[in-house]
Amino acid sequence: MLRLPQEWFARLRPRYEGKRVCITGGAGFIGGHLVDALLSLGSSITVIDDLSNSTAAHLAGLIDIEPERVRFIHGSILDDAALVQAVEGAERVFHLAAVSSVPRSIADPERSYTVNVTGTMRLAEAARRAGARRIVYSASSSAYGQGERLPKVETDTPAPVSPYAASKLAAEHIMLAWAASYGLSTVSLRYFNIFGPRQPADSPYSAVIAVFARKLLEGKAPIIFGDGGQTRDFTYVSNAVLANLLAGSSERALAGEVVNIGAGARIDLLTLFRKIAEQCGVGHIQPEHQPSRAGDVRHSLADLSRARELIGYEPVVALDVGLAETIAWYKEQWAPEAGGAGARARR
C-alpha cells in the first residue's frame, strides 16, 4: 500500500536497520504509515499514543506479526512516566502526536495548546534526558496563515490564524530552542494537507478528502465550506513518510530548521470534489455549500527548495495516484456492496 520506490528502501535500510526509534502518535494515520515503513526497514519501534483520536487496531496487527520489534505504550505525551519508557534507548524520535484540526482547536483551544505545546516540551525534555540523537517534529503549514504570496517559503513570516496553527508553530520554537539550549538535534517538517488510506473519516473534524470520500460513497452530498475556490497542496502520505525517514537519518547537524513537506502543486476544492465524485462513481452528486469556516486559510502551496537542499526530499507520489489509492481503500471500507469492515459494522 505504501508507495515508496524500492530504490528509496535500498538507500534508507542501512540507516535504520537494527536501530531503535520512538514514534509519538504511532497509532494515528501518518504515524501508522511511518511504523509500517520503519518495520520494513528493520527498525525496532516504540509507539506512544493515548488513542484519543485513533485505535490500536493497525498496531495490534503489527505487534502480532513482530512482537519483538514493536512495543506499544498506551499513554499521553503529557505523562512524564510514560514518556520515559517511550524514549528509552531510542536514537531518533518521530514526534507526530498532536490534537489536529483547525475547527477542533477553535472549539477547544486549551486542549490543542496543552497537548501540542506542553506535550511537545515534555517530549523534548524526555528525549534529551534519554540521550536521543534527533527529534523529527511533525509541524503544520497552517503556521503560514493568510499571506497572499505563493508558494509558501520557510523564510515567510508565520501568521497563524487559528489556535491549532499557533500551537503547531509554538512547538516549532520548542524544537529550535532545545537545539540552541541543549544541543539536541531537531527538525520541523511543515506538512501540507496530508491524505491517504486509513485517514479517519468518521469525525466532524476529519480532513476533507476523507470526509468527501465517505459521504460520496454513502451517496450523500458533501459540504463545501465557502465557494470552493480555496486551494491546498494535498500531499499523499507516502511523501510525508519519506520526509520523516530522510530527516531522521540526515547526516547534517540539524538544529531546529523548518522544512516544508508538500507535493508542490495545488488544487481548488471544487476540482478536487469532482475528481473524488467521479472516482466514487457518483459524478452526478453536487456539493452543498455552507459559509467558510473560521480560521480557514484561502490558499496554500509548498515551496520545496529547502526540503530538496536540506534533506534531499522529493515528492514520490503525485495527487492523482495518491487519490486513486485512497479512494480504492475507502471503497473497500465503506462501499456497502464491497462488504468491507465499515459496511459490515453499519449493518
Tell me which residues are annotated as active site. 164
- Nearer CB in complex with ligand UD1: 171/211: 211
H or E element in which residue 60 lies: helix 57-65
- Nearer CB in complex with ligand UD1: 188/300: 300
Other CB atoms within a 10 A radius of the CB of residue 299 amount to: 19
Residue 20, beta-bridge partner list: 44
Other CB atoms within a 10 A radius of the CB of residue 339 amount to: 11
Grid cell, residue 85, equals 519508557
- Nearer CB in complex with ligand UD1: 16/313: 313
- Nearer CB in complex with ligand UD1: 192/330: 192
CB of 97 to ligand UD1, least distance (A): 13
Residues 6+ apart with CB under 8 A from 33: 2, 196, 198, 237, 238, 240, 241
Q: Are 169 and 160 in contact (CB under 8 A)?
A: yes
CB of 192 to ligand UD1, least distance (A): 6
Q: Give burial (CB, 10 Å; 0-12/13-18/19+) of 346.
A: exposed
Q: What is the rounded distance in angstroms from the CA atom of residue 177 to the CA atom of residue 184?
A: 9
Q: Are 237 and 191 in contact (CB under 8 A)?
A: no
CB of 225 to ligand UD1, least distance (A): 4
Task: Please identify the residue of the shown chain whose CB is closest to the bound ligand UD1.
Answer: 142
Written as one letter, the residue type at 302 is A
CB of 248 to ligand UD1, least distance (A): 19
Residues that bind ligand UD1 (CB under 6 A): 100-102, 140-142, 191-193, 207-208, 211, 222-225, 230, 232, 269, 293, 296-297, 300
- Nearer CB in complex with ligand UD1: 142/239: 142
Q: Phi/psi zone of residue 14: left (φ > 0), alpha (ψ -120 to 50 degrees), beta?
A: alpha
CB of 190 to ligand UD1, least distance (A): 8
- Nearer CB in complex with ligand UD1: 230/326: 230
- Listed in sequence order, the DSSP H helices in 161-224 are 163-182, 208-217
Residues 6+ apart with CB under 8 A from 298: 146, 230, 231
CB of 96 to ligand UD1, least distance (A): 11
Residue 72, beta-bridge partner list: 47
H or E element in which residue 72 lies: strand 70-74
